[in-house]
Amino acid sequence: MARLVMKFGGTSVANIERIRNVARHVKREVDAGYEVAVVVSAMSGKTNELVAWCKESSALYDPREYDAVVASGEQVTSGLLAITLQSMGLKARSWQGWQIPISTDEAHGSARIQEIDGTALNTGFAAGEVAVIAGFQGMHLPTGRITTLGRGGSDTSAVAVAAAIGAERCDIYTDVDGVYTTDPRVVPKAKRLDRIAFEEMLEMASLGAKVLQVRSVELAMVHQVRTFVRSSFEDPDAPHMGTVESAGTLICDEEEIVANQMEARVVTGIAFSKDEAQVSIRRVEDKPGVAAAVFVPLADAHINVDMIVQNVSADGRTTDITFTVPTADYERAKDVLNKARDTITFETIEGATDVTKVSVIGIGMRSHAGVAADAFKALAAKGINIRAITTSEIKISILIDAAYTELAVRTLHSLYGLDK
């Protein structure tokens, strides 16, 4: 019998009425003949409440006890959904991460899954049970301590469970009905995509799209877990809800997309992130090892660096290095560099937080020339200045002034025909 993993986020299980709605979605798939595992998040707002309690108890809380507290939100939801399913005549039981077990490393608050033993779940499936699994959590087996996977970690839990039990696919139910060419709140003409490649979704998730957690997409790509993004707020019994693509977006291998259309799209979507800050180090002594002197201290401080631009002066003696960091790390990054000033040898540090990174993404860019040139020309025509540029095989990212974000996104969305 085919297996299916269904994941429901916090807004989908925000109250008992919505949990009943989730149960109807689950029953539809059970009635269709699937062995079903359901992964649930905490009820909307509960994790924030639990985090606040930890911080109120102590500013320097023990991260192990923090995980014990915040993991409880998912435990409540899994039990409530199991009770609701039982009331509908289905066999169901709740599972906590440590009961399966979902084995993780010891990085409390941001643990990574190492292994999932599906033996116990298989026994439940054989007995006709729906497995209702608390997402976001696992266990560090050597210490026996509960761990959590970081915010949005239930997506990762669901994909990992799907890989472990050999599921046909992993359905991620959320408050939107799929992945769009860009944010519909910025571009009303944005279109829902029927399919998107793992690589494209990974770029979109990492570059600002909020539909899926980045780690979940990485895991899906590595283990080839077909992942279906759909809305939990549609009528569970509507005819189209029983078919893939008519009710959401399928994230799958690139070959599956090409096989379903005459030719790969050039551009699939436009992503943007306002959570960016620009740091520029002026007149750095240009010598071997200077890049390491700049970026190693930042890495040691766990500050993620993204776009990097280096300009050497005309005399070849100094260089300017510009890069971006998350806005939350902006002041910390400048502090780290100032402390390393004797090693780096620079004149000044400049920066800006009123910037946005806009990215053009598409697997078709591999085989089409001029995609970047068209973007630069279109933005120039709108008077939008580009501060920095980075590219990859399937992505172009540009850094611009935040005031021009919506204009840039709309311009690029129209330029590549995504409005049509």
CATH number at residue 322: 3.30.2130.10
Looking at residue 259, its pLDDT comes to 59
Looking at residue 245, its pLDDT comes to 58
Domain that holds residue 288: 269-415
Alpha carbons 6 and 38: distance in angstroms, whole number: 5
Among the residue ranges 90-94, 208-212, 230-234, the one predicted with the least confidence is: 208-212
Is the pLDDT reported for residue 366 higher than 50? Answer: yes
Q: Are residues 239 and 290 in the same domain?
A: no
Q: Are residues 247 and 284 in the same domain?
A: no
Examine the fold and report which residue of 258, 280, 310 is the final residue of a domain before the chain moves on.
258
Q: Are residues 247 and 322 in the same domain?
A: no
> What is the mean pLDDT of the segment spanning 226-241?
86
Scored b (16 or more CB within 10 A) or e, 267-306 reads bbbbbbbeebbbbbbeebebeeebeebbbebbeeeebebb
Q: Is 404 annotated as a binding residue?
A: no
- For residue 121, count other CB atoms closer than 10 A to its CB: 22
Q: Is 417 annotated as a binding residue?
A: no
Looking at residue 257, its pLDDT comes to 77
In a domain, 388, yes or no: yes
In a domain, 263, yes or no: no
In a domain, 420, yes or no: no
Looking at the 3D structure of the chain, how many domains does it have?
A: 2
Examine the fold and report which residue of 258, 285, 301 is the final residue of a domain before the chain moves on.
258
In a domain, 264, yes or no: no
The helix (H) or strand (E) run that includes residue 109 is none
Q: Are residues 98 and 242 in the same domain?
A: yes
The helix (H) or strand (E) run that includes residue 183 is none
In a domain, 311, yes or no: yes
> What is the mean pLDDT of the segment spanning 251-261?
77
Q: Is 47 annotated as a binding residue?
A: yes
Examine the fold and report which residue of 192, 224, 258 is the final residue of a domain before the chain moves on.
258
Among the residue ranges 41-45, 259-263, 340-344, 349-353, the one predicted with the least confidence is: 259-263
Q: Are residues 309 and 171 in the same domain?
A: no
Q: Is 185 annotated as a binding residue?
A: yes
Q: Are residues 240 and 306 in the same domain?
A: no
**pTM assigned to the model:** 0.85
Q: Are residues 277 and 392 in the same domain?
A: yes
- Return the DSSP state at 48: H
Looking at residue 340, its pLDDT comes to 87
Looking at residue 262, its pLDDT comes to 47
Q: 222 burial class (0-12, 13-18, 19+ CB within 10 angstroms)?
A: exposed
Looking at residue 258, its pLDDT comes to 67
| Residue 167 zone, left/alpha/beta (φ > 0; ψ -120 to 50; rest) | beta
Q: Is 10 annotated as a binding residue?
A: yes
CATH number at residue 140: 3.40.1160.10
CB-side neighbour CA atoms (13 Å) of 394: 20
- Could you give the percent of the chain with pLDDT greater than 90? 71
The amino acid at 395: K
What is the phi/psi pair of residue 105, to 5°? -80, -175
Q: Is 227 annotated as a binding residue?
A: no
Q: Is 175 annotated as a binding residue?
A: yes
Band the pLDDT of 213: cuts 50, 70, 90.
Answer: confident
Q: Is 242 annotated as a binding residue?
A: no
